[in-house]
Each structure stands twice: as C-alpha cells, then as structure tokens.
Amino acid sequence: MELLHIEPDEFTPGIDFDPTQMVFEIYGFSRPENVVGFYKPLLSWLDTFSSEVLAPDPEMHRLLEVNIKLTYFNSASSKFLLDILLLFIRMNTGNCKVHIKWYYEADDDEIKESGEELSEMLGFPFIYIEM
C-alpha cells in the first residue's frame, strides 16, 4: 500500500499516512468547505489499510504511531477526527499497539483541552506533547 500525502492549504490539513513506517500524521488547520468530501477518502484509505496491511498477518507485532498536530479544527472537522481516531483505536489489538500523540502549542490551552476531551470520549489515553 502506498503513502497517502495531501499538501495543506488554508482550509485543509496536511496528511501524511505512511503504511511502511506505520506513522500517520495530520497537521495544520482543518476547516474544509466540503468536510465530507475531504475526510471520507481518508476514512476509506484507513479501512483499506486495516484490511490489506494489518489483517493479512495478525501474528506480526507492530507499533502504529498517530501524530495529531492540528492548530485549529472546526466542529465539522471534529466529527471526522473522532471517526479517524476511532478507526485507529480499533486497530489497537494484541499484536498492534497504537500510540496517539496529541501536539499542542505551549500557550494553546484550547487545542490541548480538545485532545483531552477526545481522549475521554474515546476512552483511550493520548500522549500529550507540548511544542
């Protein structure tokens, strides 16, 4: 499966999903005009990743790193961010450990609190990293 790369712009975040390195990153601003059109293909890509990369070899031990480096996301984006994180959490099985790293600026309590709220809603611990 090939790398998924999307360049950020003023409305949409940058995306780097590297299945060979098992590192998935979302960064920048997320306020797309067509939130469904932007995020649905990402969810589809993750479903394919799960079935084509993780499922065929359930005995292989893996560490999957998810880096969230958003400086802003609107409420429409938060629903899809929740869906994306939920997919990753479902991948957290006996042979695949998922680490979700939530990055935030030192003076940005709002972004940090958003991560804490998502972690609580999902019942999954995040690793918080101050930039």
**pTM score of the predicted model:** 0.92
Distances (CA, A) of 16 to 7, 35, 84, 106: 9, 18, 14, 24
Encode the chain (131 residues) as per-residue pLDDT tens digits: 789 999 999 999 999 999 989 999 999 999 999 999 999 999 999 999 888 877 666 667 789 999 999 999 999 999 999 999 999 999 998 788 999 999 999 999 999 999 999 999 999 999 999 99
* CATH topology classification for 4-130: Transcription Regulator spoIIAA (3.30.750)
Parse the chain into domains and list their residue ranges.
Answer: 4-130
Give just the sign of the alpha carbon dihedral 6, 38, 103, 55: negative
